Amino acid sequence: MTLAELSPAERHRTIAAAFTARVTGAQRWDAPAPVAGWTARDVVRHLIEWLPGFLASGSDVTLPPAPSVDTDPVAAWQSHQAAVQAVLDDPKTPERLLNNPHIGELPLDQAIDRFYTTDVFMHTWDLARATGQDETLDPGYCAILLAGMEPVDEMLRASGQYGPKVPVSADADPQTRLIAFIGRDPDWTTAS
- DSSP code for 106: E
Average pLDDT of the segment spanning 146-159: 87
> Which of 31, 14, 72 lies closest to 48, judged by CA?
72
User: What's the confidence (pLDDT) of residue 163?
Assistant: 85
- DSSP code for 65: P
Q: 82-131, pLDDT tens digit by residue?
A: 999 999 999 999 999 999 887 889 999 999 999 999 999 999 999 999 99
**Residues of CATH 1.20.120 domain(s) within the chain?**
3-136
- Residues in Cβ contact with 24 at an 8 Å cutoff, skipping those fewer than 6 apart: 74
Q: 10-59, pLDDT tens digit by residue?
A: 999 999 999 999 999 999 999 999 999 999 999 999 999 999 999 999 99
CA distance 164 to 182: 7
CATH of 3-136, one of 1.20.120, 1.10.3720, 3.30.70, 1.10.10: 1.20.120
CA distance 88 to 95: 11
Ranges of beta strands (E only) in 49-182 are 97-100, 104-107
Report how far apart the first and last C-alpha atoms of the chain are (Å, whole number). 37
Sequence length of the chain is: 192
